[in-house]
Structure 1
Amino acid sequence: MHPSLPTRRRALAGGIGAALGGAATLGALSGCAAPSATAGPGQTRLRFWHLFGGGDGVNMQGMLDDFRARHTDVALEAVTLQWGAPYYTKLGMAGAGGRAPELAVLHLARLAGFAPGRLLDPFDLDLLADLGVREQDFPPDIWRRGRMAGGQYAVPLDTHPMVLYYQTDVCEKAGLMAGGRLKPIVGADQFADALRAAKKATGLPGLVTETLGPDCITPWRLFATFYAQTGGKVLSDDGRRLALDDTKALRVLTYMARLAEEGLMVRRVDYGASVGVFNGGKTAFHLNGEWEISTFRTAGIPFSMTRVPALFGGAGAQADCHAFVLPHQAGRGGAANLAAHTLVAWMLRNSVAWAEGGHVPAYLPVLRDPAYLALKPQSEYRDVIDDVALDEPAWFAGSASRMWIELGAVFSGVLTGSRSPRGALTEAKARLRNLLDTRNPLPGVAS
């Protein structure tokens, strides 16, 4: 999912130039059909589309190679497509045009835009149960998000939440550590005090995160995390109406502006630079998705990770989930469908390998696996699985979505000082109303 730094920002925006990784590769704008796979005698052809590049691509490739070695009766063809909007456009066209693979990956918060029953087919829950995967093996809220129109259209692989990275040496110097871990931080004032202590110890702002750049989305993810902690909703539960609470939203936006105005966070920095600043080893904290763990480990800096502190009452953290889906096939069934379900079940049961890249497995038995518990710091924030804040179901929400990009641009101004909190709220509501009034552009989807 996460290519190298410069290309990741373009990928998050759905740009054409994102890096590709993993198994075989298709051009982002080529035809929707996957290239032919060669199935030997007695083998079943299984085509699997995903969007994992970078470290995720390496982990995915290793897992797929293990599956092939253990399932010699399946001719597995794994195709890595370009992350972001190009992937979702292509997946939708494949489902609408009858040229879909047997299995694909989808971000769970984007499920509502894929017209379950037209672009996607439901899973056979009895078949999954025969393979050892049942509803009770997942967090209830995440499992329910995969259920639409009377069927289970998505099976979650993980959740990838916003987390707090911290430099252990810097935080020790600032008096923020105890027993080798970051001291608990509760409330917005305590977090601001921690940033002040870090700044006093280093002479540098205590926090760095993406605040600007083309198609910048981290300001949206910050707002979504803190706003979820207030108990507020951006959209109604069905994703059809605006539900922003002005009082709660202004409280969050004012706090975000305050951190920047006081010099407690780096005010103007794009995504790649924000990762680079933290990689320098002198900035105490970095707010980002958990996927940058490989970057910081490669650099060799002394760091760890924890959940985003509960600054506004609740323990929520903005997140999305990678999930498996069955792109629509007119004649779905038989051996190929069995192979697709088999791969899903195998990936879930073996997702300790996937967790090495920072993602929190959605399959609960893995969270109790000693091999997973031995992963540090990955297992340190595993309880976030019960508090993830996914976007409400709307076609324009979820990873690489128009909502992320448009509201990221609005809230970027709060951090850089070009917008007031109240002005940003007014503009965000106007953009959300426009998105609510806009038809889903995917083929085969009714308004």
Structure 2
Amino acid sequence: MPIDDVPLSRRGLLRGLLAGAGAAGLAGCSTPVGAGLANTALDPGTVEFWDLFGGGDGVRMQQMVANYRAANPGTPVQAVTLTWGNPYYTKVSLATVGDKPPNVAVSHLTRMKTLQQAGLLQELRPADLARHGMAAEMFNRRAWEAGLIDGRAYAIPLDTHPIVLFYNTDICGEAGLLDDAGALKPLRGPDALTDAFAKAQQVTGQYGATHGINADPATCWRLFHTLYGQLGGEVLADDGTRVVLDDAKATQVLDYLRTLTVERRLLPGAIDYQGAIALFAAGGSGFHINGEWEISTFQTAKMPFGMALVPNVFGGDYVVHADSHTLVLPRRDDQSREQLDLSLGFVRSLLDQSMTWAEGGHVPTWLPIADSAAYRELTPQSNYAPAADAAVYDPPAWYTGSGSNFENVMGSAVGAVEGGQLTPQAAIAQMRSQLSALAALPSPV
């Protein structure tokens, strides 16, 4: 169904822009050649695929696309990689509003629902999926259900990507933190984690752990969300129209984080994303908290490391912040069944290559791979596989999701506490004020 009677009306254009922007400012980026970008017609026998992957993810996705080409020599594939974040979502939105979208695109699960609410995604009907051997029960239940809208599917989850606890095995071994098999001993409760960081600091002579703080609101939010979620805390309700931040629970988390940085100085309170990675890689800390996607960085550094779940610090139901990369089919008003099947066949090919994707750290959601012996033997990646069942995503709202203003608001306040610039009480007041302003705005879609 068209968004408006005229596909590229002023209103449709605005909706597409806002859906792509996710409530954050639009940014310029390069313009690779693609049908939607160059305003040219796409050969109906071609699969055009857009993604936003760089680094190790980008290399692995290129390999997976190349494998599809080799297995399907009669089907051309036009693969386009765009700038991560709002530039990417804006271009997907504009191409779809202009009726020249790619056949298949990547979307974070936390951004996909806004695209669907703007009328930019095709529904993935069970009968169409079944023709390609796909069904709901073949995916991780948490990731699949988190992506449903009114019980209908609009996205295929490719992975779950949680934050994890990296640890230097040499440092942790010297600190007495490893078991007989060389794995990190269980850490349960705030004191256990604090003590582990302190023991690692005694070995390094610098810090016990690191994570990005300066100009890195996303990492600060992910860590806060994990600990706050373990207390059962919620931030938003009613699709983001109400702020339900629990002051007592938020204070408990922020007090703990401030103790680690300001009071105990077990973590540096003034360090950016790359600095935190570099300090850990150089042996300046025993632990590092980040997304599992940084596995390639530490493998390249040839340092001794392991990976584990972020501990259950506060003892409630275990949760850990995560998002999922999903594969979506942008809406095409004139698509034939043959073109639909080409797109779904491409999606199935990527799912079947989930082991390649898992090597880069992401937890596969495609159960034929996730439940396989080969994946269980893939370490340290499979060590934190239970995170997929414990994933907690950004709360639903038109202004939330990966790279959104919501994450900037929350993470900036958390980082200011860790850096000693704000008290927990002042940070919570700042969160509530800024979130209330966003919650009061009507959804643009």
Q: Does structure 2 conserve the Cα–Cα contact (< 8 Å) formed by 1:110 and 1:394?
A: no
Counterpart residue number, 1:5: none
| More divergent stretch after superposition (184-193 vs 330-339) | 330-339
| More divergent stretch after superposition (43-52 vs 248-257) | 43-52
Counterpart residue number, 2:378: 375
1:334 aligned onto 2:337: yes
In the aligned structure 2, how far is the partner of 1:263 from the partner of 1:269?
A: 13
In the aligned structure 1, how far is the partner of 2:93 from the partner of 2:50?
A: 12
Counterpart residue number, 1:427: 430
Deviation at 1:333, TM superposition (A): 3.1
Deviation at 1:230, TM superposition (A): 0.9
Counterpart residue number, 1:235: 236
1:78-97 to 2 correspondences below 5 Å: 78-97=79-98
Deviation at 1:438, TM superposition (A): 2.7
Deviation at 1:202, TM superposition (A): 2.4
Deviation at 1:15, TM superposition (A): 8.5
Counterpart residue number, 2:20: none
In the aligned structure 2, how far is the partner of 1:128 from the partner of 1:34?
A: 30
Render the CA deviation track for 1:38-65: whole Å, top value 9, x for unaligned: 86xxx82111111011111110000011
Deviation at 1:332, TM superposition (A): 2.6
Give TM-score, length-normalised by structure 2.
0.89
| More divergent stretch after superposition (417-426 vs 341-350) | 341-350
Counterpart residue number, 2:298: 296
Find the partner of 2:32 among 2, 26, 31. 26
Q: Does structure 1 conserve the Cα–Cα contact (< 8 Å) formed by 2:116 and 2:154?
A: no
In the aligned structure 2, how far is the partner of 1:332 from the partner of 1:245?
A: 47
User: What letter corresponds to residue 277 of structure 1 in structure 2?
Assistant: L
Deviation at 1:34, TM superposition (A): 5.3
In the aligned structure 1, how far is the partner of 2:25 from the partner of 2:312?
A: 31
Counterpart residue number, 2:412: 409
User: What letter corresponds to residue 283 of structure 1 in structure 2?
Assistant: S
Deviation at 1:318, TM superposition (A): 0.7
Counterpart residue number, 1:310: 312
Q: Does structure 2 conserve the Cα–Cα contact (< 8 Å) formed by 1:142 and 1:156?
A: yes
Q: Which runs of 5+ in 1 are unaligned?
A: 1-12
Equivalent pairs, count = 419
User: What letter corresponds to residue 280 of structure 2 in structure 1?
Assistant: F
Counterpart residue number, 2:170: 169
1:223 aligned onto 2:224: yes
User: What letter corresponds to residue 286 of structure 2 in structure 1?
Assistant: A
1:199-210 to 2 correspondences below 5 Å: 199-210=201-212
Deviation at 1:35, TM superposition (A): 7.2
Render the CA deviation track for 1:335-368: whole Å, top value 9, x for unaligned: 1111111111121122000111100011122112
Change in 2 beyond 3 A, CA 1:255/1:81: same
Deviation at 1:14, TM superposition (A): 8.0
Counterpart residue number, 2:270: 268
Counterpart residue number, 1:181: 183
User: What letter corresponds to residue 205 of structure 1 in structure 2?
Assistant: Y
Change in 2 beyond 3 A, CA 1:16/1:368: same
Counterpart residue number, 2:50: 49
- Across the aligned residues of Structure 1 and Structure 2, the Cα RMSD in angstroms comes to 2.1
Paired residue secondary structure (1:324):
strand
Change in 2 beyond 3 A, CA 1:15/1:328: closer
Q: Does structure 2 conserve the Cα–Cα contact (< 8 Å) formed by 1:34 and 1:79?
A: no
Counterpart residue number, 2:284: 282
In the aligned structure 2, how far is the partner of 1:438 from the partner of 1:34?
A: 34
Q: Which runs of 5+ in 2 are unaligned?
A: 1-23
Q: Does structure 1 conserve the Cα–Cα contact (< 8 Å) formed by 2:28 and 2:87?
A: no
Paired residue secondary structure (2:217):
coil
Q: Does structure 2 conserve the Cα–Cα contact (< 8 Å) formed by 1:237 and 1:392?
A: no
1:72 aligned onto 2:73: yes
Counterpart residue number, 2:328: 325
In the aligned structure 2, how far is the partner of 1:141 from the partner of 1:345?
A: 20
| More divergent stretch after superposition (195-204 vs 302-311) | 195-204
In the aligned structure 2, how far is the partner of 1:35 from the partner of 1:288?
A: 39
User: What letter corresponds to residue 118 of structure 1 in structure 2?
Assistant: G
Q: Does structure 1 conserve the Cα–Cα contact (< 8 Å) formed by 2:113 and 2:147?
A: no
Deviation at 1:371, TM superposition (A): 2.5
User: What letter corresponds to residue 77 of structure 1 in structure 2?
Assistant: Q
Deviation at 1:237, TM superposition (A): 5.9
Counterpart residue number, 2:105: 104
Deviation at 1:150, TM superposition (A): 5.0
Paired residue secondary structure (1:160):
strand
1:400 aligned onto 2:406: no
Deviation at 1:433, TM superposition (A): 1.1
Paired residue secondary structure (1:148):
coil
Deviation at 1:301, TM superposition (A): 0.5
Counterpart residue number, 1:345: 348
Deviation at 1:272, TM superposition (A): 0.8
In the aligned structure 2, how far is the partner of 1:372 from the partner of 1:275?
A: 26
Paired residue secondary structure (2:357):
helix
| More divergent stretch after superposition (139-148 vs 105-114) | 139-148
Paired residue secondary structure (2:260):
helix
In the aligned structure 2, how far is the partner of 1:342 from the partner of 1:125?
A: 14
In the aligned structure 2, how far is the partner of 1:169 from the partner of 1:198?
A: 10
Q: Does structure 2 conserve the Cα–Cα contact (< 8 Å) formed by 1:34 and 1:101?
A: no
